[in-house]
Amino acid sequence: MRSIQVNKILSILLFTSLCGGSVFSQTGGQAIYSFLDIPVPARTASLGGNLIGVKDDDINLSYQNPALLNKGMNNQMSLSYINYIADVNFAYVAYAHTFDKIGHFAMGMQDIGYGKFKEANELGEVTGTFKANDYNFSLAYAYDLDSNFTYGVTVKTIYSKYYQYSSLGNAIDAGLTYHNPEKLFTVSMVLKNFGYQWKTYSGNVREPLPFDFQFGISKKVPKAPFRLILAYESLNQWDLTYTDPNNPDPTEDPFTHLPIKKNRYKVAGDKLMRHVVLATELVLTKNFNIRLGYNYKRQREMMLPDKKGFAGFSLGVGLKVSKFNFSYAYAKYHVAGNSHHITITTNLSSFTKEKKD
């Protein structure tokens, strides 16, 4: 028993040391394949965009954290459609299967379509049309170390095609999850999008991928119909704030010309909250639940200076009808933009007729 506990601790320390090593950090706009950070399944989108710390039998959880794969997802299939900002459309399909004594597997395919564009010459004459798409083909594997600990790895093959320009790359997600079903508690760590661009768009300098290190936790309140969810993103970079060089914050009072002093606690609190995603899932019945999420960083980056609105907030519902689970999410990004997510999940085994003795 003692050796098992030691192995658990060593696994966690090894995982943490690898993730906390010398790796580059990224912020929005500084990495390619940024679509990998967009939440796709409706359940994830409705809960603030990060769901790495919740473990149940929903195959869609493995999209962000391969260590959430389990035997309850065996033979599940999921289809998702996302109407994103500016008429960008996502499609995602996933399938999971468990092999006894080997582990849990899932494969997925993601297609992001940016629409059809007109091709014109220097005189403005339309000469044709072209499309722009991103593709992500993933294969995930997870193994149960014991009844509580699971580790998982996802290998992604990414292909991007914009007109005459294309790019090819690979990325790896690695996750470790601790789940205690008796205490209704889950905690996870995930290293995301550690990879390499094999083929560049222009044939010149290779660009970095959107690497991220995340921590997630959830707790189902006993005898209460809700689950509390917290995620901490971008552990590899503390300061996620951005200052527009064309519109910098004022450094002195325009009337007194005295320097403007910022409250260091307020500044530190803002930097801390930019890593945090908060959410709750109201499990009203076995077949129906309501989901609410709040992403502080999204709100701070997308709100208008004089109007916060509901940027950063998201909501959704989950409904089970017969053999199908339906999920819908609405996520607010900006006063002029939002996204709609629809996911349908089913277990293919439920369609197989039981053999009569």
What local confidence, expressed as pLDDT, does residue 309 receive? 76
CA–CA distance, 23 with 46 (Å, rounded to integer)? 30
What local confidence, expressed as pLDDT, does residue 352 receive? 81
CA–CA distance, 57 with 75 (Å, rounded to integer)? 11
CATH number of 2-117+128-350: 2.40.160.40
- Cα–Cα–Cα angle for 191, 192, 194, rounded to 5 degrees: 95
Who contacts 45 (Cβ-Cβ below 8 Å, separation ≥6)?
39, 82, 314, 316, 329, 331, 339, 341
Q: How far apart are the first and last CA of the chain?
A: 43
Give residue limits of the domains in the chain.
2-117+128-350
One-character DSSP codes across 208-241:
----EEEEEEEEEPTTSSEEEEEEE--TT-S---
Give the model confidence (pLDDT) of 223-263 as tens digits.
889 999 999 999 999 988 877 677 777 777 777 767 777 88
CA–CA distance, 32 with 143 (Å, rounded to integer)? 30
Exposure b/e, 217-227, CB count within 10 A at least 16 = b? bbbbeeeeebb
> For residue 341, what are its two tokens?
């997510």
Q: How many CA atoms lie within 13 A of 327 on its CB side?
A: 30
Torsion of CA 332, 337, 340, 341, to 10 degrees: -70
CA–CA distance, 59 with 77 (Å, rounded to integer)? 7
CA–CA distance, 265 with 238 (Å, rounded to integer)? 15
Q: Which residues of the chain register pLDDT less than 70?
A: 1-29, 244, 257, 353-357
Who contacts 29 (Cβ-Cβ below 8 Å, separation ≥6)?
none
CA–CA distance, 341 with 321 (Å, rounded to integer)? 18
What local confidence, expressed as pLDDT, does residue 6 receive? 39
Who contacts 310 (Cβ-Cβ below 8 Å, separation ≥6)?
332
Q: pTM to 2 decimals? A: 0.85
DSSP 3-state of 322? coil
| 18 CA to centre of own chain | 21
Element (H, E) at 299: helix 296-302
DSSP 3-state of 338? strand
Across-strand partners of 136? 110, 158
Closest listed residue to residue 230, CA positions, set 186, 184, 176, 277: 277
CA–CA distance, 330 with 333 (Å, rounded to integer)? 10
Across-strand partners of 197? 169
Closest listed residue to residue 281, CA positions, set 253, 316, 330: 316
